[in-house]
Every structure is written in C-alpha cells, then in structure tokens.
Amino acid sequence: MAYNVLIVDDSRAMRLVIKKTILASGIDVDEFYEAENGIEALTTLKNHRLDIILTDFNMPRMDGMELLQELKKDDRLKTIPVIVTSVEGSRRRVDAFMAQGAAAYIKKPFTPEEARDKLNYVLGVNSHGETKTAASGESLDF
C-alpha cells in the first residue's frame, strides 16, 4: 500500500530531512504534501486524502497541539494517525500530545532508525515493508 504523507514543519530543511528519512525507511509513499504550520495543514487536508501526518510542535500561526485538537474535532480527519516530531522533550508535554490522540512522538534529534521504527509501528508495516493487513490477509474494512 502506498501512503499519502503530510509533513508539517515551519523549517523547510526539516521537512526535507523527514521526507528523506521516510523514503529511506522503505515505506511506500504515493505523494508527499508539505505545510509550514497547522493552518496550512488544515487547508491541505480539505483538498487531499492523507494517510498519515507528521507535525512539529513549535510553529507560528498554529502549533502542533492546536492542529491535533482541530483534527480530533473533525469526524473526517480524526482517524488519520498523527506523529509529533519535536524538540520538546518534557514528559508532561509528550503526555499531553498522546492524551490528545497523537499516535507516536519522535523527539528531535532522532536517528533514522528511531524514526523508521515509529513510522512502521504507526503504519503497521513489518520489516519487509508490508502492512500487517497485507501480511496476515486481514482487512481493515468493516
């Protein structure tokens, strides 16, 4: 399965690093989308179907926590897994993200292996790049 991925970070350099990390991790990506902040991310989400979102926390205009809160209010968007990638490492803030519904947290600095493991965990991809559903023959459809 190929995924549509949205990367939200006010640093273009970091967006590129995350994109390269995802590609290096072997995850099959159909399309990458990018946004500089939460507001841009929500605009992108109006027009495109996304499978996973990676968002920074500290961004101008709308930060990662506000974005997460907006996503969880929207029935169409609340099931999209969100991975928070941030330099913020305080236990309380990480717990707050998870309580708000983040699927995982990747703290910067991160190694490519750490990022790959979290992505695979969230997407349910095994070491051969197959999703759990594909490997087991189960379906996610109800």
Partner 1 sequence: MEKRKLLQAAKASISEVLETMFFLPIDRTDIVEAIAFNGAINDDMEFVEVGFSGMFSGTFLLVIPDDLALFLTASFLGSIEEKMLPAHIRETKKEMVNMIAGNTFTHFNDQVEFDLGIPEIVHARDALNGSGRGEETIYQSHTLEKFLFIRVALED
If binding means CB under 8 A, how many residues of this protein chain bind partner 1? 23
Nearer to partner 1, 72 or 108 (CB): 108
Residue 10 touches partner 1, criterion: CB under 8 A: yes
Residue 113 touches partner 1, criterion: CB under 8 A: no
54-85 per-residue burial string, b: 16 or more CB within 10 A, e: under 16: bbbbebeebbbbbbbebbeeeeebeebbbbbb
The site string for partner 1 over 50-89 (x = CB under 8 A, - otherwise) reads --------x-x-------------------------xxxx
Residue 109 touches partner 1, criterion: CB under 8 A: yes
Count of other CB atoms within 10 angstroms of residue 36: 18
| Both tokens assigned to 40 | 């841009």
Please state the length of the chain: 142
95-132 per-residue burial string, b: 16 or more CB within 10 A, e: under 16: ebbeebebbbbbebebeeeebbebbbebbbbeeeeebe
Stretch binding partner 1 (CB under 8 A), from 27-35, 38-46, 103-111, 128-136: 103-111
Which of 47, 99, 111, 127 contacts partner 1 by CB under 8 A? 111
Which residues make up the interface to partner 1 (CB under 8 A)? 10-14, 16-17, 20, 58, 60, 86-93, 107-111
